Chains A and B, each alone.
Chain A
């Protein structure tokens, strides 16, 4: 499988820096499982994060910070770090890669699709803070992908089947990026239902009151 439609570098950098909302991160992380090349780019961007952390001018901690930490550690121990305990990894590759599979609670066979009309189905995905929109879409082979009603940016990751837009064909692992300017009318390819993860921009994502208050005080 060769990915032809990748995630843009600047989005990977936002993922690495931690500034993407959860919905976007879910799509990026799921794509990373399928795309070694973006995985490498994301690792590079994290390395940049490490280098920038190294370069920051340190801000003094309170004098007793270390002692406080050690006494916290000593009173909290022993705590077993759950390595691999939280997920039971099977040996059989699933259709849905992690982390998407865990968000949906299982692989394709375990899903409860909701009817969307015109033979299409969807499953809204619950995110921790409720902002942003992520959902799994299932479009019958040969049918148009229903309008996602997006304002702002949108990313779609193909998981089974394919769809075609004016940008070409999108197969498993490929990501289509669309925004307001793009008039896109994807049509699912023949032969197999197209299942994809679609996420849309949450317009309010960084406009929490706290962030707005803090904004003027933060320099570049």
Chain B
């Protein structure tokens, strides 16, 4: 069979498919098996909407969506791991590995549970722990029958994740400089609280209380953003 037999349709689709087919001997395995379907799928989501892109990658390995995710998150993941002490070359590699995981796990992304940035942050974090620190990352198993479930998984916890992230960033701007600095230190430096204390030349107790205060402020912002629209009960 000729590789180009099944390529027709708009010029845009044609070039996209051809790009994909060139390095692949099994075009029938591609996410978009025929141009008509590719066309239909392409129209379904907004290329700048990260959640929609992740879903498109998960559902049919949409390469255009993946490229959009890559160009936004790739340089941020690189910045993140560099902040944590990786050299540029290694950071580039870690970014590649992170994005490979994003591609492969995209079908597990659940927009009602996490924002795309949070989901990708987790993957990057775990990848770095695995490669850079050579440690395992113990995590709970959501399917563990021993897991104690939430008292009542309130339907309203399914919030607009994007909105809550914006509120979070907004709330961050209201933290004191000290609080902001310490939050960033704890996320972007591989430091124990003791090391942060040494670094900032403040007592360990101050590190902890400052961090606790900052987290408390942010948490209450998040909780407020999760308030159900009708009654005032907290989640």
Contacts and interface: CB of A to CB of B under 8 A. Distances in A.
Given A18-B126, A47-B118, A53-B124, A89 B141 contact: yes
14 contacts: A9-B219, A47-B118, A47-B165, A49-B121, A50-B115, A56-B79, A61-B78, A69-B100, A75-B23, A76-B100, A93-B145, A96-B146, A206-B191, A218-B83
Interface of B: 23-24, 29, 63, 67, 70-71, 73-80, 82-83, 85, 88, 91-92, 95-96, 99-100, 103-105, 108, 114-122, 124-126, 128-129, 133-141, 143-151, 161, 164-165, 168-169, 172, 181, 183-193, 195, 207-208, 211-212, 215-216, 218-219, 222
B150 to A, nearest CB: 5
A127 B165 CA distance: 34
Given A19-B186, A98-B140, A214-B85, A129 B121 contact: no
Interface stretch (A22-30, A109-117, A142-150): A22-30
A125 to B, nearest CB: 10
B78 to A, nearest CB: 5
Contacts, number: 243
B113 to A, nearest CB: 9
B152 to A, nearest CB: 10
B79 A94 contact: no
Contacts of B122: 46, 49
Main secondary structure of the interface of A (DSSP, over half): helix
B215 A61 contact: no
A56 B84 CA distance: 13
A59 B75 contact: yes
Contacts of B188: 52
A66 B117 contact: no
Main secondary structure of the interface of B (DSSP, over half): helix
Contacts of B161: 47
Given A17-B187, A98-B141, A206-B195, A9 B211 contact: yes
Contacts of A75: 23
Interface of A: 1, 8-10, 13-14, 17-19, 21-22, 25-26, 28-30, 32-36, 39-41, 43-62, 65-66, 68-79, 81, 83-84, 87, 89-99, 101, 103, 127-129, 173, 205-206, 210-211, 214, 218, 220
Of listed A33, A49, A71, residue having the most chain B CB within 10 A? A49
B222 A45 contact: no
B96 A99 contact: no
B146 A50 contact: no
B145 A89 contact: yes
Contact of A50 (B78, B120, B147, B212): B120
Nearest to A99: B138
Of listed A21, A28, A52, residue having the most chain B CB within 10 A? A52
B178 to A, nearest CB: 11
A131 B166 CA distance: 38
Nearest to B153: A36
Contact of B143 (A28, A66, A72, A89): A89
Contacts of B121: 46, 49-50, 52-53
A129 B165 contact: no
Given A52-B187, A58-B76, A47 B146 contact: no
Contact of A61 (B67, B92, B126, B165): B92
Nearest to B132: A210
Contact of B92 (A62, A70, A83, A101): A62
B209 to A, nearest CB: 9
A29 B146 CA distance: 13
B138 A25 contact: yes
Nearest to A47: B118
B144 A97 contact: yes
Of listed A18, A22, A25, A101, residue having the most chain B CB within 10 A? A18
